[in-house]
Structure 1
C-alpha cells in the first residue's frame, strides 16, 4: 500500500513576518485571502488534520478544510522564548541561541529540542504510513522540516537549513518505511496575486 501525506504550511502571520517565535496570533488578512483563493486546489483526502496552533487552524478554515487538530503535529515548543523575536533572544541570551541553532539536542529555552520534534514527527509519519488513503495536514513550517529530515534520513543538524514558504505543499509518498519527497509546491492561487 502506498501512503500519501500532503503537508501544507500556514499563511503568513505577524509573528512569522517579524521573525517572532509563534505567539498564537492570527494569520494576516492577505494570507487569509490567498488561502481562500486557493480553496479547492488541494486533492481530496481520507483525513484532514492540522497543528493545533491558531495560524494552522485559521489557514485550514480559509482553505475550506474541516480539519482535526492533532497534538503530535504541534509546532516546536520554544518554552520561554514564545512571542519574542530571534533578535531579542539573541541579544539577551546569545550563547543559548548559539547552542540551540548548533545542537539539535539542545533546548535552552526550556521547551522542546529540534531532535525531540524530529522524533515526534517521525513517529507520527510512521503511523500515518499505515493508514489507507491520502492524509492532508496544515502544519507549522518546523513540522514540515522535521518530516523532510525523517523522510530523507537526514541528520537533525540540517533542520535549520530547510526553508518552508507560506502556503506551500510538501508531498510525501511511500511504503514499507521508505518515503519519496516533492517539495514546496505553491497552492494554486490566481495570477493576480
Structure 2
C-alpha cells in the first residue's frame, strides 16, 4: 500500500511580506489569482486537509478545494508574538528570539516549541502512512518543514534551514514504514503536480 501526501504552501499576504507573525491577514489579491490559475495543476486526491489558518483556508478556496481542518496541521503557535513583526520582537526580546531560533525545545513566547510542532505533525503523518491513496493538504510552511524533518529523520534543529516558497507542492510518498520526499514543485497552471 502506498500513501501520498501533497502539502501545498499557501499564498502570500501582507503580513508575511513584512515578516510579521500570523495576524489573520487575508491573502493578496494577486496571490489569490495565482492560486485560482493553478487549480488545474493539483493532483487527484481522495482526502483534503486544510490548516485552520486564514491564509490556508483562503488559498484552498482559491484552489477550489475544501476539506477537514485537523488541529495537528495548525500553524506553529507563537504565543504572545502572534501579530508582531520579527524585527520588533527581536529588538524587544533579543535573547528570547535567539534562544527560540537556536533551541528547538524553546518556546519563550509562551506558545509551542518547534519540537512540539514536529511531534504533532509526525503523529498526523504516521496516521496518513496507514491510509492508501493521496491526501492533499494546504498548510503553513512550518508544517511542511516539520513533516520533511520527520520523514528524513533529521534533528529538529534542521527545521529553520528548510525554505518553503508560497504556492509550491511538497509530496511525500510512503510505503512499508518509510517516506520519500519530492520538494517544492511550483503550482503553475501550465504544469501539473505529477501524480507519481
Offset at residue 67 of structure 1 (A): 2.0
Counterpart secondary structure, 1:57: helix
Distance 1:190 1:22 in 2: 31
1:51, 1:70 within 8 Å by CA — same for their partners in 2?
Answer: yes
2:51, 2:71 within 8 Å by CA — same for their partners in 1?
Answer: yes
Counterpart secondary structure, 1:145: helix
Distance 2:54 2:165 in 1: 18
Which residue matches 1:54? 54
Distance 1:131 1:14 in 2: 36
2:102, 2:157 within 8 Å by CA — same for their partners in 1?
Answer: yes
Counterpart secondary structure, 1:174: strand
RMSD between superposed Cα atoms in Å = 1.0
User: Which has the higher mean CA deviation after the structures are superposed, 88-97 or 39-48?
Assistant: 39-48
Offset at residue 177 of structure 1 (A): 2.0
Which residue matches 1:20? 20
Which residue matches 1:74? 74
Matched, 1:167 2:167: yes
- After TM superposition, the score normalised by the length of structure 1 is 0.97
Which residue matches 1:112? 112
Matched, 1:126 2:143: no
Query: Unmatched 5+ residue regions in structure 2?
Result: 192-196
Distance 2:130 2:161 in 1: 29
Query: Unmatched 5+ residue regions in structure 1?
Result: none
Which residue matches 2:181? 181
Counterpart secondary structure, 1:69: coil
Distance 1:190 1:136 in 2: 19
1:37, 1:190 within 8 Å by CA — same for their partners in 2?
Answer: no
Cα deviation, 1:17-71, whole Å, max 9, x if unaligned, reads 1111011111010110000000121111110111000000000000011222111
Which residue matches 2:194? none
Offset at residue 176 of structure 1 (A): 2.3
1:49, 1:70 within 8 Å by CA — same for their partners in 2?
Answer: yes
Number of equivalent positions: 191
Cα deviation, 1:80-100, whole Å, max 9, x if unaligned, reads 000011100000000000000
Distance 2:185 2:8 in 1: 9
Offset at residue 112 of structure 1 (A): 0.4
Which residue matches 2:149? 149
Counterpart secondary structure, 1:89: helix
Distance 1:67 1:19 in 2: 28
Cα deviation, 1:127-162, whole Å, max 9, x if unaligned, reads 011112100000000000000000100100010110
